[in-house]
Structure 1
Amino acid sequence: MTVTELAPHQPHAEGELRSVSIAVAVLDCFADAVELGPTQVGRRMGIAKSTASRMLSALAVGGMLERTPAGRYRLSMRLFHYGQLAVDRLPLRSVARPVLLDLHESLREIVQLGIPVGGHVLYVDRVGGAPSTARLSGEVMRRVPGYSSSAGRVMAAFDPTVARATAGVERRKHTPFTVTDGARLTQVLRQGRQAGWVASREEYELGYSSIAAPVLVGVPGAAPRVVGAISVVGPSANVVGQRREFVAASVCRAARRVGTALTGLMED
Protein backbone atom coordinates (compact mmCIF):
# COMPACT_ATOMS: atom_id res chain seq x y z
CA MET A 1 0.00 0.00 0.00
CA THR A 2 1.41 3.41 -0.97
CA VAL A 3 1.53 6.63 0.99
CA THR A 4 -1.03 8.06 -1.44
CA GLU A 5 -3.46 5.26 -0.62
CA LEU A 6 -3.02 5.92 3.09
CA ALA A 7 -3.45 9.67 2.89
CA PRO A 8 -7.29 9.77 2.71
CA HIS A 9 -7.49 7.87 6.00
CA GLN A 10 -5.11 10.08 7.93
CA PRO A 11 -7.57 12.85 8.95
CA HIS A 12 -9.91 10.22 10.37
CA ALA A 13 -7.05 8.57 12.29
CA GLU A 14 -5.87 11.94 13.61
CA GLY A 15 -9.40 12.71 14.75
CA GLU A 16 -9.60 9.42 16.61
CA LEU A 17 -6.27 10.07 18.32
CA ARG A 18 -7.45 13.54 19.32
CA SER A 19 -10.60 12.04 20.79
CA VAL A 20 -8.50 9.63 22.83
CA SER A 21 -6.34 12.51 24.08
CA ILE A 22 -9.43 14.47 25.09
CA ALA A 23 -10.87 11.43 26.87
CA VAL A 24 -7.67 11.00 28.87
CA ALA A 25 -7.70 14.70 29.74
CA VAL A 26 -11.32 14.38 30.88
CA LEU A 27 -10.35 11.56 33.24
CA ASP A 28 -7.48 13.69 34.55
CA CYS A 29 -10.02 16.29 35.64
CA PHE A 30 -11.24 13.86 38.29
CA ALA A 31 -7.82 13.56 39.93
CA ASP A 32 -8.76 16.32 42.39
CA ALA A 33 -12.56 16.30 42.18
CA VAL A 34 -15.06 13.72 43.38
CA GLU A 35 -17.84 14.70 40.98
CA LEU A 36 -17.96 16.97 37.94
CA GLY A 37 -20.53 18.04 35.37
CA PRO A 38 -20.07 18.99 31.70
CA THR A 39 -19.84 22.70 32.46
CA GLN A 40 -17.02 22.23 34.96
CA VAL A 41 -15.12 19.81 32.74
CA GLY A 42 -15.49 22.10 29.76
CA ARG A 43 -14.21 25.05 31.77
CA ARG A 44 -11.22 23.11 33.11
CA MET A 45 -10.22 21.87 29.67
CA GLY A 46 -11.13 24.92 27.65
CA ILE A 47 -13.54 23.02 25.42
CA ALA A 48 -17.22 23.47 24.59
CA LYS A 49 -19.73 22.17 27.11
CA SER A 50 -21.30 20.04 24.36
CA THR A 51 -17.95 18.38 23.64
CA ALA A 52 -17.37 17.74 27.33
CA SER A 53 -20.87 16.30 27.66
CA ARG A 54 -20.31 13.89 24.77
CA MET A 55 -16.99 12.74 26.20
CA LEU A 56 -18.41 12.25 29.68
CA SER A 57 -21.30 10.26 28.27
CA ALA A 58 -18.99 8.09 26.14
CA LEU A 59 -16.71 7.39 29.10
CA ALA A 60 -19.73 6.44 31.20
CA VAL A 61 -20.92 4.04 28.48
CA GLY A 62 -17.41 2.55 28.42
CA GLY A 63 -17.48 2.03 32.16
CA MET A 64 -14.73 4.53 33.01
CA LEU A 65 -17.17 6.92 34.69
CA GLU A 66 -20.55 6.54 36.32
CA ARG A 67 -23.35 9.08 36.28
CA THR A 68 -24.88 10.28 39.53
CA PRO A 69 -28.62 10.87 40.05
CA ALA A 70 -27.90 14.61 39.88
CA GLY A 71 -26.50 14.24 36.35
CA ARG A 72 -22.87 14.68 37.33
CA TYR A 73 -20.09 12.13 36.85
CA ARG A 74 -17.52 10.36 39.03
CA LEU A 75 -14.81 7.75 38.51
CA SER A 76 -16.08 4.18 38.32
CA MET A 77 -14.92 1.10 40.18
CA ARG A 78 -13.77 -0.30 36.84
CA LEU A 79 -10.86 2.13 36.96
CA PHE A 80 -9.99 0.87 40.44
CA HIS A 81 -9.99 -2.66 39.01
CA TYR A 82 -7.56 -1.61 36.27
CA GLY A 83 -5.40 0.17 38.83
CA GLN A 84 -5.29 -2.94 41.00
CA LEU A 85 -4.27 -5.03 38.00
CA ALA A 86 -1.50 -2.55 37.19
CA VAL A 87 -0.19 -2.68 40.75
CA ASP A 88 -0.38 -6.47 40.92
CA ARG A 89 1.68 -6.71 37.73
CA LEU A 90 4.39 -4.28 38.83
CA PRO A 91 7.78 -6.00 38.68
CA LEU A 92 8.81 -3.74 41.56
CA ARG A 93 6.11 -5.16 43.80
CA SER A 94 6.83 -8.82 43.04
CA VAL A 95 10.59 -8.35 43.48
CA ALA A 96 10.18 -6.34 46.68
CA ARG A 97 7.69 -8.63 48.41
CA PRO A 98 10.17 -11.15 49.91
CA VAL A 99 12.47 -8.30 50.93
CA LEU A 100 9.60 -6.57 52.73
CA LEU A 101 8.82 -9.80 54.55
CA ASP A 102 12.44 -10.15 55.68
CA LEU A 103 12.57 -6.53 56.83
CA HIS A 104 9.36 -6.90 58.81
CA GLU A 105 10.68 -10.08 60.40
CA SER A 106 13.83 -8.22 61.46
CA LEU A 107 12.27 -5.00 62.77
CA ARG A 108 8.77 -6.13 63.78
CA GLU A 109 7.33 -2.86 62.50
CA ILE A 110 5.10 -2.04 59.54
CA VAL A 111 7.04 -2.07 56.25
CA GLN A 112 5.71 -0.30 53.16
CA LEU A 113 6.54 -0.04 49.46
CA GLY A 114 5.69 3.28 47.81
CA ILE A 115 5.92 4.75 44.34
CA PRO A 116 5.82 8.44 43.29
CA VAL A 117 2.53 9.69 41.84
CA GLY A 118 2.03 13.39 41.16
CA GLY A 119 3.84 14.72 44.21
CA HIS A 120 2.29 12.05 46.42
CA VAL A 121 3.29 8.56 47.52
CA LEU A 122 1.11 5.65 46.45
CA TYR A 123 1.65 2.72 48.81
CA VAL A 124 1.37 -0.44 46.71
CA ASP A 125 2.32 -2.99 49.35
CA ARG A 126 2.60 -3.28 53.09
CA VAL A 127 3.65 -5.98 55.53
CA GLY A 128 2.54 -5.86 59.14
CA GLY A 129 -0.65 -5.18 61.04
CA ALA A 130 -2.30 -1.79 60.91
CA PRO A 131 -1.44 0.43 63.86
CA SER A 132 -4.19 1.51 66.21
CA THR A 133 -4.95 4.71 64.35
CA ALA A 134 -7.45 5.29 61.58
CA ARG A 135 -5.13 7.72 59.80
CA LEU A 136 -2.51 5.05 59.12
CA SER A 137 -4.69 1.99 58.64
CA GLY A 138 -5.52 0.92 55.09
CA GLU A 139 -2.75 2.96 53.47
CA VAL A 140 -2.10 0.36 50.78
CA MET A 141 -3.40 1.75 47.49
CA ARG A 142 -3.83 5.14 49.11
CA ARG A 143 -1.96 8.33 48.30
CA VAL A 144 -0.38 10.54 50.93
CA PRO A 145 1.43 13.85 50.36
CA GLY A 146 5.08 13.35 49.58
CA TYR A 147 6.25 16.37 51.56
CA SER A 148 5.04 14.89 54.87
CA SER A 149 6.22 11.30 54.36
CA SER A 150 9.69 9.83 54.55
CA ALA A 151 9.06 7.81 51.37
CA GLY A 152 8.02 10.87 49.39
CA ARG A 153 10.94 12.90 50.63
CA VAL A 154 13.57 10.29 49.93
CA MET A 155 12.29 9.79 46.36
CA ALA A 156 12.31 13.55 45.87
CA ALA A 157 15.86 13.71 47.26
CA PHE A 158 17.11 11.40 44.50
CA ASP A 159 14.91 12.52 41.59
CA PRO A 160 14.56 16.18 40.49
CA THR A 161 11.29 15.42 38.67
CA VAL A 162 9.76 13.94 41.81
CA ALA A 163 11.14 16.87 43.81
CA ARG A 164 9.38 19.39 41.54
CA ALA A 165 6.10 17.48 41.75
CA THR A 166 6.41 17.24 45.54
CA ALA A 167 7.11 20.96 45.83
CA GLY A 168 4.00 21.68 43.75
CA VAL A 169 1.62 20.00 46.20
CA GLU A 170 -0.28 22.39 48.45
CA ARG A 171 1.19 21.96 51.92
CA ARG A 172 -0.70 21.95 55.19
CA LYS A 173 0.11 20.78 58.69
CA HIS A 174 -1.23 17.31 59.47
CA THR A 175 0.30 17.64 62.94
CA PRO A 176 2.14 20.47 64.72
CA PHE A 177 5.39 18.83 63.54
CA THR A 178 4.66 18.76 59.81
CA VAL A 179 7.33 20.68 57.89
CA THR A 180 5.67 22.96 55.34
CA ASP A 181 8.35 25.61 54.86
CA GLY A 182 9.89 25.29 51.40
CA ALA A 183 13.43 26.18 52.47
CA ARG A 184 13.32 23.66 55.31
CA LEU A 185 12.05 20.94 52.98
CA THR A 186 14.86 21.67 50.53
CA GLN A 187 17.34 21.25 53.38
CA VAL A 188 15.71 17.95 54.39
CA LEU A 189 16.01 16.65 50.83
CA ARG A 190 19.66 17.67 50.61
CA GLN A 191 20.44 15.95 53.91
CA GLY A 192 18.50 12.87 52.78
CA ARG A 193 20.52 12.55 49.60
CA GLN A 194 23.74 12.78 51.57
CA ALA A 195 22.65 10.23 54.16
CA GLY A 196 20.86 7.88 51.76
CA TRP A 197 17.70 7.84 53.86
CA VAL A 198 15.07 10.19 55.29
CA ALA A 199 13.12 10.19 58.54
CA SER A 200 9.73 11.73 59.21
CA ARG A 201 8.99 12.32 62.90
CA GLU A 202 5.26 12.45 63.70
CA GLU A 203 4.51 14.62 60.66
CA TYR A 204 1.51 12.67 59.42
CA GLU A 205 0.17 11.15 62.65
CA LEU A 206 1.09 11.96 66.23
CA GLY A 207 2.96 9.16 67.94
CA TYR A 208 4.13 7.53 64.70
CA SER A 209 7.30 8.12 62.71
CA SER A 210 8.97 6.56 59.69
CA ILE A 211 12.29 6.05 57.94
CA ALA A 212 12.61 5.43 54.19
CA ALA A 213 15.29 4.63 51.62
CA PRO A 214 15.04 4.89 47.82
CA VAL A 215 14.88 1.94 45.45
CA LEU A 216 17.35 2.84 42.70
CA VAL A 217 17.66 1.02 39.38
CA GLY A 218 20.86 1.20 37.37
CA VAL A 219 20.63 2.82 33.95
CA PRO A 220 23.52 2.38 31.47
CA GLY A 221 25.35 5.64 30.92
CA ALA A 222 23.20 7.56 33.40
CA ALA A 223 22.60 8.04 37.11
CA PRO A 224 20.49 5.41 38.87
CA ARG A 225 16.74 6.01 38.52
CA VAL A 226 14.30 6.16 41.43
CA VAL A 227 11.45 3.66 41.00
CA GLY A 228 10.11 3.61 44.55
CA ALA A 229 10.92 3.66 48.24
CA ILE A 230 10.81 1.27 51.17
CA SER A 231 9.73 2.71 54.48
CA VAL A 232 9.32 1.49 58.04
CA VAL A 233 6.59 3.08 60.16
CA GLY A 234 5.77 2.56 63.82
CA PRO A 235 5.71 4.17 67.24
CA SER A 236 8.24 6.97 67.33
CA ALA A 237 10.26 5.42 70.14
CA ASN A 238 10.72 2.24 68.09
CA VAL A 239 11.64 3.91 64.80
CA VAL A 240 13.44 7.18 65.49
CA GLY A 241 14.47 6.54 69.10
CA GLN A 242 17.53 4.58 70.19
CA ARG A 243 17.10 2.13 67.29
CA ARG A 244 17.12 4.85 64.62
CA GLU A 245 20.53 4.04 63.11
CA PHE A 246 19.76 0.31 63.08
CA VAL A 247 16.36 0.89 61.45
CA ALA A 248 17.89 3.21 58.86
CA ALA A 249 20.67 0.75 58.00
CA SER A 250 18.15 -2.09 57.69
CA VAL A 251 15.89 -0.08 55.39
CA CYS A 252 18.82 0.97 53.21
CA ARG A 253 19.98 -2.64 52.83
CA ALA A 254 16.48 -3.73 51.87
CA ALA A 255 16.15 -0.96 49.29
CA ARG A 256 19.53 -1.87 47.77
CA ARG A 257 18.49 -5.54 47.53
CA VAL A 258 15.37 -4.60 45.58
CA GLY A 259 17.24 -2.16 43.35
CA THR A 260 19.94 -4.71 42.54
CA ALA A 261 17.35 -7.37 41.71
CA LEU A 262 15.41 -5.01 39.44
CA THR A 263 18.58 -3.90 37.67
CA GLY A 264 19.38 -7.56 37.02
CA LEU A 265 15.93 -8.12 35.51
CA MET A 266 16.42 -5.18 33.17
CA GLU A 267 19.78 -6.55 32.02
CA ASP A 268 18.43 -10.05 31.26
Structure 2
Amino acid sequence: MEIAVRVVNSLVERCFAVVELMANEPSAMRLGEIAEKLDLQKSAAHRMLTVLCEIGWVEQESVTGFYKLTLRLAILGQRFLSGTHLTDVCQPVLEELAAESEELVRMAVTQGETLTWISQAQGAQKGLRYQPEMVAKVRLATTANGRAYLSTLAQTDAVRLAISNGMDDGQTKIPVEELIRELEATRKRGWAISNEEAETGVIAIAAPIILEGEQTVGTLSVAGPSSRLTPDRHEQIAASVQKAARKLSELWPLRQLSLSKGRSAV
Protein backbone atom coordinates (compact mmCIF):
# COMPACT_ATOMS: atom_id res chain seq x y z
CA MET A 1 0.00 0.00 0.00
CA GLU A 2 2.82 2.40 0.88
CA ILE A 3 4.53 1.77 -2.47
CA ALA A 4 1.30 2.49 -4.36
CA VAL A 5 0.92 5.86 -2.59
CA ARG A 6 4.45 6.87 -3.58
CA VAL A 7 3.82 6.01 -7.22
CA VAL A 8 0.60 8.03 -7.30
CA ASN A 9 2.32 11.02 -5.72
CA SER A 10 5.10 10.82 -8.30
CA LEU A 11 2.61 10.75 -11.17
CA VAL A 12 0.66 13.67 -9.72
CA GLU A 13 3.83 15.71 -9.32
CA ARG A 14 4.85 14.97 -12.90
CA CYS A 15 1.45 15.97 -14.27
CA PHE A 16 1.62 19.27 -12.40
CA ALA A 17 5.18 19.75 -13.68
CA VAL A 18 3.88 19.38 -17.25
CA VAL A 19 1.12 21.93 -16.64
CA GLU A 20 3.52 24.36 -14.96
CA LEU A 21 6.05 24.07 -17.78
CA MET A 22 3.44 24.71 -20.45
CA ALA A 23 1.99 27.63 -18.49
CA ASN A 24 5.36 29.38 -18.76
CA GLU A 25 5.64 28.86 -22.52
CA PRO A 26 3.87 31.31 -24.88
CA SER A 27 3.51 28.82 -27.74
CA ALA A 28 2.69 25.16 -28.28
CA MET A 29 5.45 22.68 -27.47
CA ARG A 30 6.77 19.52 -29.10
CA LEU A 31 6.54 16.24 -27.22
CA GLY A 32 10.32 15.87 -27.33
CA GLU A 33 10.83 19.37 -25.91
CA ILE A 34 8.48 18.68 -23.00
CA ALA A 35 10.17 15.36 -22.24
CA GLU A 36 13.64 16.92 -22.42
CA LYS A 37 12.88 19.89 -20.19
CA LEU A 38 11.26 17.69 -17.53
CA ASP A 39 13.85 14.92 -17.87
CA LEU A 40 11.21 12.34 -18.78
CA GLN A 41 11.05 9.44 -21.20
CA LYS A 42 9.08 10.38 -24.31
CA SER A 43 6.68 7.50 -23.66
CA ALA A 44 5.99 8.70 -20.10
CA ALA A 45 5.49 12.30 -21.24
CA HIS A 46 3.14 11.12 -23.99
CA ARG A 47 1.02 9.13 -21.52
CA MET A 48 0.64 12.14 -19.22
CA LEU A 49 -0.19 14.47 -22.09
CA THR A 50 -2.79 12.01 -23.35
CA VAL A 51 -4.47 11.98 -19.94
CA LEU A 52 -4.30 15.78 -19.67
CA CYS A 53 -5.89 16.06 -23.12
CA GLU A 54 -8.66 13.65 -22.12
CA ILE A 55 -9.60 15.69 -19.03
CA GLY A 56 -9.45 19.03 -20.85
CA TRP A 57 -6.28 20.63 -19.48
CA VAL A 58 -4.18 20.25 -22.63
CA GLU A 59 -4.97 20.16 -26.33
CA GLN A 60 -2.97 18.88 -29.30
CA GLU A 61 -2.78 20.92 -32.48
CA SER A 62 -4.11 18.90 -35.40
CA VAL A 63 -1.62 20.27 -37.95
CA THR A 64 1.68 20.28 -36.02
CA GLY A 65 0.92 17.73 -33.31
CA PHE A 66 2.31 20.18 -30.75
CA TYR A 67 0.74 20.51 -27.29
CA LYS A 68 -0.58 23.58 -25.48
CA LEU A 69 -2.71 24.36 -22.45
CA THR A 70 -6.41 24.99 -22.83
CA LEU A 71 -8.02 27.98 -21.11
CA ARG A 72 -9.16 25.81 -18.20
CA LEU A 73 -6.21 26.79 -16.00
CA ALA A 74 -6.73 30.50 -16.71
CA ILE A 75 -10.45 30.24 -15.99
CA LEU A 76 -9.88 28.48 -12.67
CA GLY A 77 -7.21 31.02 -11.73
CA GLN A 78 -9.55 33.93 -12.42
CA ARG A 79 -12.30 32.20 -10.47
CA PHE A 80 -9.99 31.76 -7.48
CA LEU A 81 -8.80 35.39 -7.57
CA SER A 82 -12.40 36.57 -7.78
CA GLY A 83 -13.26 34.52 -4.72
CA THR A 84 -10.44 35.99 -2.63
CA HIS A 85 -11.35 39.59 -3.59
CA LEU A 86 -7.61 40.30 -3.58
CA THR A 87 -7.58 42.29 -6.80
CA ASP A 88 -10.77 44.14 -5.81
CA VAL A 89 -9.07 45.50 -2.70
CA CYS A 90 -5.62 46.12 -4.17
CA GLN A 91 -6.42 47.43 -7.66
CA PRO A 92 -7.31 51.01 -6.54
CA VAL A 93 -3.85 51.31 -4.95
CA LEU A 94 -2.23 50.14 -8.18
CA GLU A 95 -4.29 52.59 -10.22
CA GLU A 96 -3.32 55.47 -7.92
CA LEU A 97 0.40 54.64 -8.18
CA ALA A 98 0.13 54.24 -11.96
CA ALA A 99 -1.48 57.68 -12.30
CA GLU A 100 1.18 59.25 -10.07
CA SER A 101 4.19 57.61 -11.78
CA GLU A 102 2.69 57.60 -15.28
CA GLU A 103 4.25 54.18 -15.81
CA LEU A 104 3.28 50.51 -15.62
CA VAL A 105 2.54 49.25 -12.11
CA ARG A 106 2.48 45.52 -11.36
CA MET A 107 1.82 43.42 -8.27
CA ALA A 108 3.02 39.89 -7.62
CA VAL A 109 2.08 37.58 -4.75
CA THR A 110 4.10 34.85 -3.06
CA GLN A 111 3.14 31.29 -3.90
CA GLY A 112 5.21 28.93 -1.80
CA GLU A 113 8.75 30.05 -2.57
CA THR A 114 7.96 31.80 -5.84
CA LEU A 115 6.35 35.03 -7.03
CA THR A 116 3.40 35.14 -9.42
CA TRP A 117 2.12 38.18 -11.31
CA ILE A 118 -1.58 38.79 -10.63
CA SER A 119 -2.46 42.41 -11.37
CA GLN A 120 -1.30 45.55 -13.17
CA ALA A 121 -2.27 49.12 -14.01
CA GLN A 122 -0.97 51.17 -16.94
CA GLY A 123 -0.21 54.81 -16.17
CA ALA A 124 1.53 55.84 -19.40
CA GLN A 125 -0.86 57.92 -21.45
CA LYS A 126 1.44 58.95 -24.31
CA GLY A 127 4.74 58.06 -25.89
CA LEU A 128 6.32 54.66 -25.24
CA ARG A 129 4.17 52.25 -23.24
CA TYR A 130 5.98 49.34 -21.63
CA GLN A 131 4.06 46.09 -22.09
CA PRO A 132 5.86 43.06 -20.63
CA GLU A 133 5.65 39.52 -21.92
CA MET A 134 2.73 37.48 -20.61
CA VAL A 135 4.29 35.07 -18.14
CA ALA A 136 3.04 33.95 -14.75
CA LYS A 137 6.19 33.47 -12.70
CA VAL A 138 8.53 36.29 -11.75
CA ARG A 139 12.22 35.76 -12.47
CA LEU A 140 13.91 36.22 -9.12
CA ALA A 141 17.54 37.10 -9.82
CA THR A 142 17.15 39.74 -12.53
CA THR A 143 13.83 41.50 -11.88
CA ALA A 144 13.21 44.25 -9.36
CA ASN A 145 10.24 42.35 -7.93
CA GLY A 146 12.30 39.20 -7.55
CA ARG A 147 15.10 41.05 -5.79
CA ALA A 148 12.65 42.85 -3.51
CA TYR A 149 11.27 39.47 -2.45
CA LEU A 150 14.68 37.82 -2.05
CA SER A 151 15.88 40.73 0.10
CA THR A 152 13.34 39.78 2.78
CA LEU A 153 14.79 36.27 3.11
CA ALA A 154 17.88 34.94 4.84
CA GLN A 155 20.90 35.11 2.52
CA THR A 156 21.24 31.32 2.18
CA ASP A 157 17.55 30.96 1.28
CA ALA A 158 17.70 33.88 -1.15
CA VAL A 159 20.70 32.43 -3.00
CA ARG A 160 19.17 28.95 -3.06
CA LEU A 161 15.91 30.21 -4.57
CA ALA A 162 17.68 32.44 -7.08
CA ILE A 163 19.82 29.54 -8.29
CA SER A 164 16.90 27.11 -8.49
CA ASN A 165 14.85 29.73 -10.35
CA GLY A 166 17.68 30.38 -12.79
CA MET A 167 20.48 32.93 -12.49
CA ASP A 168 20.74 33.14 -16.29
CA ASP A 169 17.55 34.23 -18.05
CA GLY A 170 19.08 34.12 -21.51
CA GLN A 171 19.86 37.83 -21.53
CA THR A 172 21.77 38.59 -18.34
CA LYS A 173 23.80 36.20 -16.22
CA ILE A 174 24.08 37.38 -12.62
CA PRO A 175 27.05 36.05 -10.59
CA VAL A 176 26.12 34.94 -7.08
CA GLU A 177 28.50 37.46 -5.50
CA GLU A 178 26.91 40.31 -7.43
CA LEU A 179 23.41 39.18 -6.44
CA ILE A 180 24.39 39.06 -2.76
CA ARG A 181 25.74 42.63 -2.95
CA GLU A 182 22.58 43.81 -4.70
CA LEU A 183 20.34 42.18 -2.09
CA GLU A 184 22.33 43.77 0.74
CA ALA A 185 21.87 47.19 -0.88
CA THR A 186 18.16 46.46 -1.36
CA ARG A 187 17.72 45.62 2.33
CA LYS A 188 19.40 48.85 3.41
CA ARG A 189 17.35 51.18 1.23
CA GLY A 190 14.09 49.18 1.32
CA TRP A 191 13.60 48.93 -2.44
CA ALA A 192 15.06 47.04 -5.40
CA ILE A 193 15.99 48.10 -8.90
CA SER A 194 16.52 46.28 -12.17
CA ASN A 195 18.49 48.49 -14.54
CA GLU A 196 17.93 46.86 -17.95
CA GLU A 197 19.00 43.49 -16.51
CA ALA A 198 15.64 41.79 -16.98
CA GLU A 199 14.77 43.53 -20.26
CA THR A 200 16.82 45.81 -22.49
CA GLY A 201 15.72 49.42 -22.26
CA VAL A 202 13.50 48.84 -19.20
CA ILE A 203 14.00 50.12 -15.65
CA ALA A 204 11.93 48.72 -12.78
CA ILE A 205 11.78 49.70 -9.11
CA ALA A 206 10.04 47.45 -6.58
CA ALA A 207 9.31 47.10 -2.88
CA PRO A 208 8.13 44.13 -0.84
CA ILE A 209 4.65 43.99 0.69
CA ILE A 210 5.23 42.92 4.28
CA LEU A 211 2.59 42.32 6.96
CA GLU A 212 3.03 43.25 10.61
CA GLY A 213 4.23 39.77 11.47
CA GLU A 214 7.10 40.28 9.00
CA GLN A 215 5.50 37.93 6.49
CA THR A 216 6.22 38.87 2.89
CA VAL A 217 3.02 38.38 0.90
CA GLY A 218 4.02 40.01 -2.38
CA THR A 219 5.82 42.80 -4.20
CA LEU A 220 4.87 46.00 -6.00
CA SER A 221 6.76 47.68 -8.83
CA VAL A 222 6.86 50.57 -11.27
CA ALA A 223 8.48 49.87 -14.64
CA GLY A 224 9.04 51.85 -17.81
CA PRO A 225 11.47 52.84 -20.55
CA SER A 226 14.92 53.90 -19.38
CA SER A 227 14.48 57.12 -21.35
CA ARG A 228 11.78 58.19 -18.85
CA LEU A 229 12.83 56.40 -15.66
CA THR A 230 16.10 58.32 -15.52
CA PRO A 231 18.38 58.20 -12.42
CA ASP A 232 17.07 61.54 -11.13
CA ARG A 233 13.58 59.96 -10.79
CA HIS A 234 14.63 56.74 -9.03
CA GLU A 235 14.41 58.04 -5.46
CA GLN A 236 11.04 59.69 -6.06
CA ILE A 237 9.58 56.59 -7.72
CA ALA A 238 11.00 54.37 -4.98
CA ALA A 239 9.37 56.50 -2.28
CA SER A 240 6.00 56.24 -4.06
CA VAL A 241 6.34 52.47 -4.48
CA GLN A 242 7.23 51.99 -0.81
CA LYS A 243 4.29 54.15 0.28
CA ALA A 244 1.89 52.12 -1.88
CA ALA A 245 3.39 48.84 -0.63
CA ARG A 246 2.79 49.92 2.97
CA LYS A 247 -0.80 50.80 2.08
CA LEU A 248 -1.28 47.34 0.57
CA SER A 249 0.16 45.71 3.69
CA GLU A 250 -2.46 47.56 5.75
CA LEU A 251 -5.26 46.43 3.44
CA TRP A 252 -4.17 42.78 3.39
CA PRO A 253 -5.31 41.88 6.95
CA LEU A 254 -8.59 43.76 6.41
CA ARG A 255 -9.26 41.61 3.35
CA GLN A 256 -8.67 38.43 5.35
CA LEU A 257 -10.87 39.72 8.18
CA SER A 258 -13.73 40.58 5.83
CA LEU A 259 -13.56 37.12 4.28
CA SER A 260 -13.69 35.52 7.72
CA LYS A 261 -16.73 37.58 8.66
CA GLY A 262 -18.41 36.64 5.39
CA ARG A 263 -17.93 32.93 6.05
CA SER A 264 -19.22 33.32 9.64
CA ALA A 265 -22.36 35.09 8.41
CA VAL A 266 -23.09 32.22 6.02
Same fold per TM (> 0.5)? yes
For residues 1-268 of structure 1, the aligned pairs below 5 Å read 14=5, 18=9, 20-28=12-20, 30=22, 34-37=28-31, 41=35, 44=38, 49=43, 52-69=45-62, 71-116=65-110, 122-128=116-122, 136-139=130-133, 142-160=136-154, 161=157, 164-168=160-164, 169-172=166-169, 174=171, 178=172, 180-219=174-213, 224-236=214-226, 238-266=228-256
Query: AA paired with 1:37?
Result: L
8 Å CA contact 2:53–2:60 kept in 1: the answer is yes
Moved more, 114-123 or 161-170: 114-123
How many residue pairs get aligned? The number is 249
Q: Percent identity, aligned pairs only?
A: 27
Query: What secondary structure is seen at the aligned counterpart in 1 of 2:249?
Result: helix
8 Å CA contact 1:60–1:67 kept in 2: the answer is yes
Task: Tell me how far apart the structure 2 counterparts of residues 230 and 156 of structure 1 sit (CA, whole Å).
Answer: 13
Structure 1 residue 26, shift from structure 2 partner: 4.2
Structure 1 residue 151, shift from structure 2 partner: 0.9
Task: Tell me how far apart the structure 2 counterparts of residues 191 and 31 of structure 1 sit (CA, whole Å).
Answer: 33
Task: Tell me how far apart the structure 2 counterparts of residues 15 and 179 of structure 1 sit (CA, whole Å).
Answer: 37
Q: Which has the larger radius of gyration?
A: 1
Q: Deviations over 1:61-100 (max 9, x none)?
A: 1111112335553322322332333444454433221111
Unmatched runs of 5 consecutive residues or more in structure 1: 1-9
Residues 148 and 80 of structure 1: CA distance in aligned 2, closer, same or farther (over 3 Å): same
Query: What secondary structure is seen at the aligned counterpart in 1 of 2:212?
Result: strand
Unmatched runs of 5 consecutive residues or more in structure 2: 261-266
Structure 1 residue 39, shift from structure 2 partner: 10
8 Å CA contact 1:232–1:239 kept in 2: the answer is no
Moved more, 257-266 or 231-240: 231-240
8 Å CA contact 2:140–2:147 kept in 1: the answer is yes
Task: Tell me how far apart the structure 1 counterparts of residues 194 and 241 of structure 2 sit (CA, whole Å).
Answer: 14
Residues 42 and 181 of structure 1: CA distance in aligned 2, closer, same or farther (over 3 Å): closer
* TM-score, with length taken from structure 2: 0.74
Q: Deviations over 1:140-188 (max 9, x none)?
A: 65545222211111011113556532232141463xxx56222111111
* TM-score, with length taken from structure 1: 0.73
